[in-house]
Amino acid sequence: MLAIVCPGQGSQTPGLLTPWLELDGTSGLLEEWSTATGVDLTAHGTVSDEATVQDTAVAQPLIVAAGLLAAHSLHLDSLPTDGWIAAGHSVGEITAAVLAGVLPASEALEFVRIRATGMAEAAGSQPTGMAAVLGGDPDEVLAAIEAHGLVPANANGGGQVVAAGSSEALAALAATPPAKARVISLKVAGAFHTPYMASAVPALKSYAETLQPNDPQVTLLSNRDGRAVPTGRQFLDQLIDQVTRPVRWDLCMDSLREAGVTGLIELLPGGTLTKLAKRSLKGLPSLAVTSPADLDAARDFVAEHAAPAE
C-alpha cells in the first residue's frame, strides 16, 4: 500500500521548476495553470528570488502546480484506485484533492488562487507569524504555546509543533522556550491555520458553492483529524475550515500506519514530509521527488508499493 503525500507552504525554493522545463509538455501545462491561478508559474518557478517565492500569493499556487506537475510526469492517474492513499499538508491538501479525483486541476488551481490571495491579505493586516517548537515534553510545549496566547497551528509529529499568532507573542515564546525545546522562527508571512485567517474564508465559501466536487476515488485523508473523508463535498468544506483550523499531520501519519502503508512518496517540492515520516514512521521506506532525476526511481517505488495491503 502506497502513500502519496503533498507538501505545504515552506517547501518551495527558488528555481524549483527549472529542470522540469526540459520535459516535453511542461511549458504548455505551466502556461495553462498560470492562466488558472493568475500567477506566472514559469517565471516564479525558475527566476524569481527567495523573497518572491515566499509571498503567500505566489507560494501556494506554485506548490500545488509543482505537485501536479510531478503527478503528471509519474502518470499517477493510471494507478488502480485500491492501491494507494492520498494526503496533503495544508495547501498540499488541494493537490491531494486533484490526485483523488475530487476536483479537476483547473478548479483546484482557481481554489488555491482565491485561498492564497485571501490568506496573503489576512497576513498583511497585522504582524503575525509562526515558529516551530522542536523537542520538549509535549504537554509542556502545548501549555507554553497557549500561555503566550498562541495557537498550535501544526501538530506535525516527531516532536514538532508549530506555534502561530502575534509576532510579539512569538518573540516572548522564543525568549522563554519550554524545557528541552528549541523555538525556530519560520519564514512565513502570517499566522496560518488560526483565527487570524478568518477574512480569507468567505470568498472560498462563495467559490465552493459553484463547484460540484466528486467523491474521492481513493482513500483521502484530512488534516482535521487524519481520517478518510467519504465525500467530495465534505472534503471541500473541510478544506475551507482548515484555513483557520490547526493541521493535524501527526494524525494523518497515524492513519497511514494503521492502514498498513508500506511506502511513502512525497511529490514536488519533496523533502519536508519524508523527514517527518522518518521520525514518526520509523523504518517506512520513503522517497521525495525533488527533480526530474528522481522520476525513474519514483516510478519503480510506485510500482513496488501501489498495491492493496494483504
Cell of 166: 502575534
90 is an active site residue = yes
Given the residues 11, 48, 73, 90, the one annotated as active site:
90
Angle, alpha carbons 134-139-140 (nearest 5°): 70
Mark whether 291 is an active-site residue.
no
Cα–Cα distance between 302 and 44 in angstroms, integer? Answer: 29
The two beta strands, 2-6 and 263-266, are: parallel
Catalytic residue selected from 11, 193, 255, 305: 193
Q: Are strands 84-88 and 160-166 parallel, antiparallel or unpaired?
A: unpaired
| Beta pairing, strands 84-88 & 219-220 | parallel
| DSSP structure string for 141-173 | HHHHHHHTT-EEEEEEETTEEEEEEEHHHHHHH
Kindly state the DSSP code that residue 22 receives in the 8-state scheme.
Answer: G
Report the interhelical angle of 232-241 vs 201-208 (nearest 10°): 170
Residue 33: phi and psi, rounded to 5, are -70, -30
Burial 124-141 (b: 16+ CB within 10 A, else e): eeeebbbbbbbebeeeeb
Q: Is the peptide bond before 19 cis (omega within 30 degrees of 0)?
A: no
Q: Could you list the active site residues? A: 90, 193
